[in-house]
Amino acid sequence: MITLTPATRKTLWAYIFLAVPIIFFAYFRIYPTLFAFRMSLYDWNPMAIDQEYVGLENYQDIRDDLGNPRSPTRKAFENTAIYIGLGVPIQLGLALLIALMLNEIRRLANFYRLLFFLPFVTSTIAISWVFRILFERQGYINSLLATFSLPPQPFLRSPDQALYSILVVVVWQGLGFAVIIFLAGLKQISQSYYEAARIDGASRWQSFRHITIPLLNPTIVFLVILQSIAFLRMFAPVYAMTVQGSGGPLNSTTTVVLRVVREAFDSNNMGFAAALTVVLFVIILFVTVLQLKLTTRQID
């Protein structure tokens, strides 16, 4: 029998233990990633036997679409930017406010925390349908408006209101997660800072501005990045809340990922869709690198 040195033995065991994960990541993550890059260079049609190499044509198509105000792709990028630009600050602002208040109270704190947390664990599809019906012309929200003598609103049926209606639902559902992360961040701030500030005669606003916000900064950066990426990948709520998952009315709510799914699986335009996902990947990569830069600067 062969005797192995302890180091060789450990190496062997490490690879035995990692064998399944390595094969898994290689075949289901890394290979498909490279495959997506390759597909983006082809006029890939799942119905065809041979795929035609087109070089950067799909990327040129995206560029042309972005220059055309009427193209759904351009609309998708614009909408996604609005979802992020409005959704992230509103969601995090509300979540911080709620976390600060939850941190203030003692009695029933767990109960209130549960209220905000509940929507977060609900299925997006089921909850989107709940709101889709709440927003109907004869739905509950319009009957509430009627009790205040306000005119009924079209909400999801109007190209002007649909995006904001969907945004409300997404903010509503994701709020609890941000609240809990903020609460964890607040708990880590030592009380001694506040007491020192109080002794020095700082007002509460000054303490908030100069103690809470700076010390909460890593949490804020973490959440901004995480939620931005979540909004960037938005798909299910738009799919469930628009007629036949169209991202309508008139593409007014469509997102980049919705375009990807439509192009790839409805129009068999898989090369173009793959190119769109590469663009999405580059944006996420950029955001992630930005996070690494921002958080490492924090440590200095």
Partner 1 sequence: MTAVQQQALAGQKRRPRAGRGYGAGYKVLSYILLTLLGLTMVVPLLWMISTSLKPLEEIVLPNFWPKRATLENYRYVLTETELPRWYLNSMIVAVLSTISVTFFDSLGGYVFAKFDFPGKRIVFLAFLSSLMVPTEMLIIPWFVMSANPIVGSTWVDTYWGIAFPGMITATGIFLMRQFMQGVPDELLDAGRIDGVSEFGLFWRIAVPLSLPAMGALAIFNFLGNWNAFIWPLIVTSKREMMTLPVGIQFFSTEVGSNWHLIMTGASLSLVPLLIVVIIFQRYIVEGIALTGLKG
Which residue, 68 or 213, has its beta carbon nearer to partner 1? Answer: 213
CB count within 10 Å of CB 17 equals 10
Dist CA 169 CA 68 (whole Å): 30
Q: Which of 1, 49, 121, 299 binds partner 1 (CB under 8 A)?
A: 121
Choices 38-46, 66-74, 76-84, 157-165 (CB under 8 A): range interacting with partner 1: 38-46
Choices 27-35, 56-64, 70-78, 149-157 (CB under 8 A): range interacting with partner 1: 27-35
Q: Which of 4, 25, 81, 89 binds partner 1 (CB under 8 A)?
A: 25
Which x/- pattern over 160-199 shows residues binding partner 1 (rule: CB under 8 A)?
A: ------------x--xxx--xx-xx-xx---x--x--xx-
Contact 259, 239 (CB under 8 A): no
Residue count, binding to partner 1 (CB under 8 A)? 111
Contact 94, 171 (CB under 8 A): yes
Q: Is 118 in the site for partner 1 (CB under 8 A)?
A: yes
The position carrying tokens 């190209």 is 159
The position carrying tokens 């890059």 is 37
For the CB of residue 22, give the shortest distance to partner 1 in the complex, in Å: 6
Residue 48 carries which side chain, given as an amino acid letter? A
Bond into 249 cis (ω within 30): yes
Q: Is 298 in the site for partner 1 (CB under 8 A)?
A: no
Which x/- pattern over 223-262 shows residues binding partner 1 (rule: CB under 8 A)?
A: ---x--xx--x-xx--xx---xx-----------x--xx-
Residues 76-115 that bind partner 1 (CB under 8 A): 94, 97-98, 100-105, 108, 110, 112-115
For the CB of residue 141, give the shortest distance to partner 1 in the complex, in Å: 10
Residue 234, judged by CB atoms within 10 A of its CB (0-12, 13-18, 19+), counts as: buried
Which x/- pattern over 40-69 shows residues binding partner 1 (rule: CB under 8 A)?
A: ----x-x-----------------------
Alpha helices in the chain (DSSP H): 6-25, 31-39, 57-67, 72-104, 109-117, 124-134, 140-147, 162-187, 191-199, 204-207, 213-232, 236-241, 256-261, 270-299
Q: Is 270 in the site for partner 1 (CB under 8 A)?
A: yes
